Amino acid sequence: MPSKAAVAALQDILEHALLIKGFVEGFDIDRFRQDRRTYFAVVRCLEIISEASRRMDDEIKLRHPGLEWRAMAGSGNVYRHDYDNVTPDLVWRTATGRMDDLVSMAREELSRTP
């Protein structure tokens, strides 16, 4: 059973991955590049997901080796400290390419809690 901290982190990952999916729904890359509000909302959600991934129990990470846990955790530092190298294209690829995996993982792990 996940720790209380891991459950809270899973809930944060699920919530923010679903927010990202909603934010980009109906968008294409060109519209995303032009919509600064959506871009910044997605980046903020990715920062939260990054921090939440750091609070995940190791046993959960081991059950989901297909997720890039180290990159996920490190991405928050990039968004905060190396922001001038963060591009809409990079954020778009993350937002449209990995959220389903995170949603599935979080739902699966949360289903293990009483």
The per-residue pLDDT for range 33-67, each reduced to its tens digit, is 999 999 999 999 999 999 999 999 999 999 999 99
Say whether pLDDT at 16 is over 80. Answer: yes
What pLDDT does residue 86 have?
87
C-alpha to C-alpha distance for 112 and 114, rounded to whole angstroms: 7
pTM: 0.93
Sign (positive/negative) of CA torsion 64, 70, 71, 75? positive
Q: Can you tell me the mean pLDDT for 78-97?
A: 91
Average pLDDT value for the chain: 94
